[in-house]
Amino acid sequence: SRPSSRPSARLGSLFDYLLQLAGPQQQLAATRLLSVILTTLSSIWPGRIELAGENLGDVWRHPMARSTEPEHDPSTGLVPFHKLSQWLTYSLVEPLEEAGVTVSGLDQLTGLPEYRNGGLFIDLGVLKLKNPAARYNAHPVDSELVVEWRALTVVLLDRLAAGIRTRLGLDQEQLPLAKVLQGGSWSAGRRIARELRPDGAPPLQIISDGTVF
């Protein structure tokens, strides 16, 4: 089900709906929270890929994303990111917990594949462009280069978080990925971009309508 429609400026009374989902134990899985956001906001993303009549949002094609039985899998070739939806999910955790709801399983979400986190790995030389000249061109968000860059960013953020935990002697509960993103990779990506480029722009130029980055 979805949040009910009411004659209000509020987004379908989303908060009330989430409290209802949390139930008497006041617990809500992060994946359930993300699912609600994806379902509720699916219609706002412009001109995106549709599957079974559903607007997929921040999901793009890449030729290497193939399932083992592509002829039976309509999602073959698709790479999901949902950066803004996951960012909103992370942002809702604090107000929900202030309201007494425990949000569990945050590490079931992915790192945010955006230009600060992804830019960090290019600027530090972790990722290198196959064609160095691509740095000087602007690329649409559905280009193979940008999709691959973002997918690698998700994987590398997991590895970065694991390395930091090992270095500090902390476990996943003590240092979840969300804290690594907020206090580490995003801030570092912005700082290094400003050190390398006067305007602090990312290492790749992205053609975006503002609904991805």
- On whether residue 2 sits in a domain, the answer given is no
| The pairing of beta strand 54-55 with beta strand 50-51 | antiparallel
Question: Residue 74 contacts by C-beta under 8 Å, 6 or more apart in sequence?
Answer: 51, 52
Q: What is the pLDDT of residues 34-51, one digit of tens each?
A: 999 998 888 888 778 988
Report the number of distinct structural domains present in the chain.
Answer: 2
Higher pLDDT, 10 or 80: 80
Which residues does residue 178 pair with via DSSP β-bridges, in sequence order?
Answer: none
Q: What confidence tier does 55 reach under pLDDT thresholds 50, 70, 90?
A: confident
Measured CA to CA, the distance from residue 145 to residue 20 in angstroms comes to 42
Q: What is the pLDDT of residues 90-99, one digit of tens each?
A: 999 999 999 9
Please compute Rg for the chain using Cα positions.
Answer: 19
Measured CA to CA, the distance from residue 171 to residue 150 in angstroms comes to 26
Q: Which domain holds residue 150?
A: 110-207
Q: Is the pLDDT of residue 5 over 60?
A: no
Is residue 164 located within the same domain as residue 123?
yes
**Can you give the pTM of this predicted structure?**
0.89
Measured CA to CA, the distance from residue 38 to residue 11 in angstroms comes to 13
Q: What is the pLDDT of residues 115-141, one digit of tens each?
A: 999 999 999 999 999 999 999 999 999
User: What was the pLDDT predicted at 12?
Assistant: 64
**CA distance from start to end of the chain:** 29
Tell which of 88, 104, 120 closes a domain: 104
**176 φ/ψ angles, rounded to the nearest 5 degrees:** -70, 165
Measured CA to CA, the distance from residue 159 to residue 137 in angstroms comes to 29
Is residue 139 located within the same domain as residue 194?
yes
- On whether residue 167 sits in a domain, the answer given is yes
Is residue 39 located within the same domain as residue 80?
yes
Q: What confidence tier does 4 reach under pLDDT thresholds 50, 70, 90?
A: low
Is residue 116 located within the same domain as residue 202?
yes
Three-class secondary structure of residue 206 per DSSP: strand
**58 φ/ψ angles, rounded to the nearest 5 degrees:** -80, 65
Which burial class, exposed, middle or buried, applies to 31 when counting CB atoms under 10 A from its CB (0-12, 13-18, 19+)? middle
Is residue 19 located within the same domain as residue 96?
yes
Mean per-residue pLDDT for 165-193?
A: 93
Compute the mean pLDDT over every residue in the chain, rounded to the nearest whole number: 90
User: What was the pLDDT predicted at 7?
Assistant: 52
Chain centre distance of CA 130: 24
Tell which of 69, 104, 139 closes a domain: 104
Question: What DSSP letter does each residue of 52-117 carry, written as one string?
Answer: TTEE--SEEE-TT---SSGGG-TTTTEEE--HHHHHHHHHHHHHHHHTTPEEE-GGGSPP--SHHH
Where is 184: in which H helix or E strand?
none
Measured CA to CA, the distance from residue 168 to residue 80 in angstroms comes to 31
